[in-house]
């Protein structure tokens, strides 16, 4: 007969939670409760985390109402100690029996390799789940990731917000418990305005339906979908499409219990302000969703999600329109004020802005970046003059009113102001592109000058922070150097720039303040970038063997990311060829043979000593392809080179089937070893294919 089970519901009601905390607290509470049940050995079904601004809740299906009975075995004294010579129990045996609550006669014996022992065996009756739940939940609450706790009233309990009610049901029964000074019950609460009266929860399974009737959509995914669909439909009704960023959707979802989508408008004159500033104002300050037309142009409309179904929606809309006007007016004022003074005039002010105490001011950094840009401009498809000008202006928008109000617009506003100042279009665009990619999945800079700036700015930051001893350790990366390294590497690879990392960081290190010995950090920084490169390829689905095949043939202190990328893609292409597995195995065999050889000759093959047909065919096949392979390698066409080498499968297989490399004739043995060295050398000029799996 199956054990009885009921649905468990726990709800903690409180003042409105910080928006950024709801999702993490809900996940943690769900996971902690599940872990507590499992630790107690209580079977259960699916756990569902629920939550809204004023509540955290968990519903778990099919929770056993009692722990299963568990057999136990308690070992006592050794038999030779438990009984005397006549077989009568000693005090040791009797004491053990008393501690177990049985007679000595009820004890069993256990035979082990170490000897025989008295044991007490039995079955421990499981406790009721209701008795265990208060402790399990207390532990779950203690383990929540609450960054800042608070006290309220006269009690000493601390939590993220004051707690007002607790619901704890197992099926239809209230489980008695007290948390944060509040006793559990079956009374929840609905929407603060639409349903301020208590909400009676008869059974745990009724929870979501009862709260929905009280104007609370407690299932977070459902509420999020309601917001997305409502905002999308309203955007279409307005003749455009709503701009819905994931972060804003999640924040709004954590702010409302009953989402009601409304829209409003603002004066079209504000559209003269760069749209990014208007969007930032709407999203960050008001949590509004902007609306764009079919061409992507901003419309003088916005969408908001209210937490109430007003009897007079127009009053709510009018209130939002009154609130947004001064925000947009501020943005327009900043735009007008900032344009009154060219970016170039702000450069000197950057001397008063500290970049890092040991690395000087932001102006010092801009000058170092200008020097580095001049050095690599030609290699990256632009001119030193443009590089120096873009670097000189690259940080100037830090001192504008707009960026002061909206820091996320750094670079964006620099581009707008540079265009207004009449700067070269490439320079203006580079002021924004220097920060690309801004995050994972973002595109790299689109122009050569922007790519140059993105690379040299990050190179200066990386070598400078390494030089002052602040390289990332473990999970700590306060200067976001891992992200900077990934951005630099992606730009060099996707922009197809053949830049040597050692040369780049050496030049950047030479420009750092004296006394830092930045040059000593170049090898460590290059190795750090190589590890970031590994992460990039693994995330992109490349097997670890492919990465190792390339890394093992390159000097880790002297390589080009673009060249590395071409090699690893060539290895991936090669691994898909029918000949790949066989040639990988052959290269392993060659490596082992050459490693065991007492002395390796020069890789010069004497054709006159090739007496066996198989070794002669291999030699001729190599000779026929070597020229083309070398030309492909010199041109960075590694896939084509490996495709040529894949044609050697048949003669290589026949060679190992028919030829004894380690011949008794020393001259013949040396000649065959030279042939294998020559074959191996062709592959190693690209990658160590012996690192690839033999079965592909």
Question: DSSP for 15-72?
Answer: SPPPGGGHHHHHHHHHHHHHHHHHHTT-----EEEEEETTEEEEEEEEEESBPPPEEE
Quote the domain boundaries for residue 258: 220-339
Token pair recorded at residue 463: 């070598």
Domain boundary among 339, 366, 385: 339
Is residue 264 in a domain?
yes
Q: Which helix (H) or strand (E) holds 111?
A: strand 108-112
Cα–Cα distance, 68 to 127 (Å, whole number) = 8
Q: Are 291 and 238 in contact (CB under 8 A)?
A: yes
Q: Are 378 and 356 in contact (CB under 8 A)?
A: no
Asked if 370 and 476 sit in the same domain, the reply is yes
Taking Cα atoms as reference points, which of 344, 353, 529, 493 lies closest to residue 422? 344
pLDDT in tens, 278-308: 999 999 889 999 999 999 999 999 999 999 9
Whether 228 shows a pLDDT value over 60: the answer reads: yes
Cα–Cα distance, 512 to 508 (Å, whole number) = 7
Is residue 557 in a domain?
no
Is residue 313 in a domain?
yes
What pLDDT shows up at residue 1? 33
Asked if 176 and 272 sit in the same domain, the reply is no
Q: Are 41 and 203 in contact (CB under 8 A)?
A: no
Cα–Cα distance, 422 to 433 (Å, whole number) = 18
Asked if 671 and 684 sit in the same domain, the reply is yes
Q: In what order do the strands lie in the sheet with 289-292?
A: 241-242, 289-292, 298-306, 260-265
Asked if 50 and 154 sit in the same domain, the reply is yes
Cα–Cα distance, 135 to 128 (Å, whole number) = 12
Asked if 46 and 176 sit in the same domain, the reply is yes
Average pLDDT for 342-359:
94
| CATH, residue 54 | 3.30.70.260
Is residue 75 in a domain?
yes
Whether 659 shows a pLDDT value over 90: the answer reads: no
Whether 2 shows a pLDDT value over 60: the answer reads: no
At 357, give phi and psi (nearest 5°): -50, -45
Q: Are 452 and 416 in contact (CB under 8 A)?
A: no
Whether 369 shows a pLDDT value over 50: the answer reads: yes
Which one of 222-236, 503-517, 676-690 scores highest in mean pLDDT?
A: 222-236
Asked if 484 and 388 sit in the same domain, the reply is yes
Cα–Cα distance, 552 to 683 (Å, whole number) = 12
What pLDDT shows up at residue 440? 86
Asked if 447 and 389 sit in the same domain, the reply is yes
Asked if 77 and 13 sit in the same domain, the reply is no
Q: How far is CA 657 from CA 581, 593, 667, in A?
A: 16, 15, 21
Domain boundary among 521, 541, 561: 541
Is residue 555 in a domain?
no
Average pLDDT for 620-627:
92
Q: Give 77-84's long-range contacts (Cβ < 8 A, gap of 24+).
A: 77/117, 77/118, 78/115, 78/116, 78/117, 78/118, 79/109, 79/115, 79/116, 79/117, 79/118, 80/115, 80/116, 82/118
Asked if 379 and 485 sit in the same domain, the reply is yes
**pLDDT, greater one: 591 or 124:** 591
Asked if 328 and 426 sit in the same domain, the reply is no
Please give the model's pTM, rounded to 2 decimal places.
0.81
At 474, give phi and psi (nearest 5°): 60, -130
Asked if 407 and 493 sit in the same domain, the reply is yes
What pLDDT shows up at residue 696? 43
pLDDT range class, residue 3, cuts 50, 70, 90: low
Is residue 258 in a domain?
yes
pLDDT in tens, 438-470: 988 899 999 999 999 999 999 999 999 999 999
**pLDDT, greater one: 375 or 661:** 375
pLDDT in tens, 395-429: 999 999 999 999 999 999 999 999 999 999 999 99
3-state secondary structure of 665: coil
What pLDDT shows up at residue 601? 64
At 58, give phi and psi (nearest 5°): -140, 130
Asked if 205 and 226 sit in the same domain, the reply is no
Is residue 9 in a domain?
yes
pLDDT range class, residue 595, cuts 50, 70, 90: confident
Residue carrying structure tokens 């049901």: 169
Look at the chain and report how many structural domains it folds into.
5
Average pLDDT for 505-534:
94
| CATH, residue 660 | 1.10.730.10
What's the helix, strand, coil split of the chain in %, to 5?
55, 15, 30
Is residue 616 in a domain?
yes
Average pLDDT of the chain to the nearest whole number: 92
Beta bridge partners of 108: 119
**What is the per-residue burial (b if ≥16 Cβ within 10 Å, else e) of 509-533?**
bebbeeebebeebbeebbebbbebb
Domain boundary among 339, 359, 374: 339
């Amino acid at each position: 007969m199956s054990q009885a089970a009921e649905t468990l519901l726990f709800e903690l009601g409180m003042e409105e939670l910080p928006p950024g905390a709801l999702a993490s607290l809900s996940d943690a509470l769900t996971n902690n409760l599940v872990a507590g049940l499992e630790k107690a050995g209580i079977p259960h079904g699916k756990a569902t985390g629920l939550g809204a601004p004023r509540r955290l809740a968990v519903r778990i299906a099919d929770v056993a109402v009692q722990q299963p009975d568990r057999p136990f075995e308690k070992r006592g004294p050794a038999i030779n100690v438990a009984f005397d010579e006549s077989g009568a129990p000693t005090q040791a045996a009797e004491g053990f029996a008393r501690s177990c609550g049985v007679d000595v006669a009820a004890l069993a014996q256990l035979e082990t390799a170490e000897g025989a022992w008295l044991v007490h065996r039995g079955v421990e009756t499981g406790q009721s789940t209701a008795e265990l739940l208060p402790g399990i939940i207390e532990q779950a609450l203690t383990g929540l990731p609450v960054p800042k706790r608070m006290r309220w009233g006269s009690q000493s309990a601390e939590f993220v917000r004051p707690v007002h009610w607790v619901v704890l049901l197992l099926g239809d029964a209230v489980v008695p418990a007290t948390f944060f000074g509040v006793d559990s019950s079956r009374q929840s609460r609905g929407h603060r305005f639409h349903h301020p009266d208590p909400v009676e929860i008869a059974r745990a399974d009724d929870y979501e339906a009862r709260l929905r009737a009280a104007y609370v959509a407690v299932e977070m995914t459902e509420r999020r979908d309601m917001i997305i669909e409502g905002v999308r439909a309203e955007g279409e009704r307005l003749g455009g499409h709503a701009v819905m960023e994931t972060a804003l959707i999640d924040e709004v979802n954590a702010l409302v219990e009953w989402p009601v989508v409304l829209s409003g408008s603002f004066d079209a004159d504000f559209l003269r302000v760069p749209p990014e500033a208007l969007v930032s104002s709407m999203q960050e300050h008001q949590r509004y969703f902007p609306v764009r037309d079919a061409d992507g142009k901003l419309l003088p409309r916005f969408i908001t999600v209210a937490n109430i179904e007003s009897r007079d929606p127009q009053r709510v809309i009018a209130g939002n329109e009154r609130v947004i006007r001064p925000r947009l007016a501020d943005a327009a004022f900043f735009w007008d004020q900032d344009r009154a003074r060219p970016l170039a005039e702000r450069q000197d002010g950057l001397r008063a802005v500290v970049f890092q105490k040991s690395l000087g001011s932001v102006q010092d950094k801009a000058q170092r970046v200008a020097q580095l840009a001049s050095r690599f401009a030609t290699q990256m498809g632009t001119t030193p003059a443009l590089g120096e000008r873009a670097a000189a202006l690259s940080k100037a928008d830090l001192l504008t009113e707009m960026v002061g109000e909206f820091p996320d617009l750094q670079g964006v506003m620099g581009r707008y102001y540079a265009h207004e100042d009449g700067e070269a279009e490439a320079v203006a665009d580079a002021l924004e592109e220097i920060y690309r990619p801004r995050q994972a999945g973002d595109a790299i800079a689109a122009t050569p000058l922007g790519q140059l700036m993105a690379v040299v700015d990050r190179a200066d930051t990386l070598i400078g922070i390494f030089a002052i001893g602040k390289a990332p350790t473990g999970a700590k990366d306060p200067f976001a150097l891992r992200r900077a390294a990934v951005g630099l590497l992606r730009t060099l690879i996707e922009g197809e720039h053949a830049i040597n990392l050692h040369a780049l960081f050496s030049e950047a290190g030479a420009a750092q303040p004296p006394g830092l010995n930045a040059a000593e950090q170049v090898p460590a920084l290059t190795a750090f970038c190589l590890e970031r490169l590994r992460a990039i390829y693994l995330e992109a689905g490349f097997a670890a063997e492919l990465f190792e095949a390339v890394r093992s043939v390159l000097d880790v202190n002297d390589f080009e990311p673009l060249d590395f990328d071409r090699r690893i893609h060539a290895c991936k292409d090669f691994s898909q060829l029918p000949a790949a597995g066989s040639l990988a195995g052959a290269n392993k065999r060659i490596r082992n043979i050459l490693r065991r050889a007492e002395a390796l000759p020069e890789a010069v093959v004497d054709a006159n000593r090739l007496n066996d047909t198989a070794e002669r065919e291999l030699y001729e096949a190599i000779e026929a392809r070597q020229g083309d392979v070398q030309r492909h390698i010199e041109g960075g066409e590694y896939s084509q080179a490996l495709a040529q080498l894949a044609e050697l499968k048949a003669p290589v297989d026949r060679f190992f089937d028919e030829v004894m490399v380690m011949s008794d004739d020393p001259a013949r043995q040396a000649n065959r070893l030279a042939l294998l060295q020559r074959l191996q050398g062709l592959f190693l000029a690209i990658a160590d294919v012996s690192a690839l799996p033999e079965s592909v």
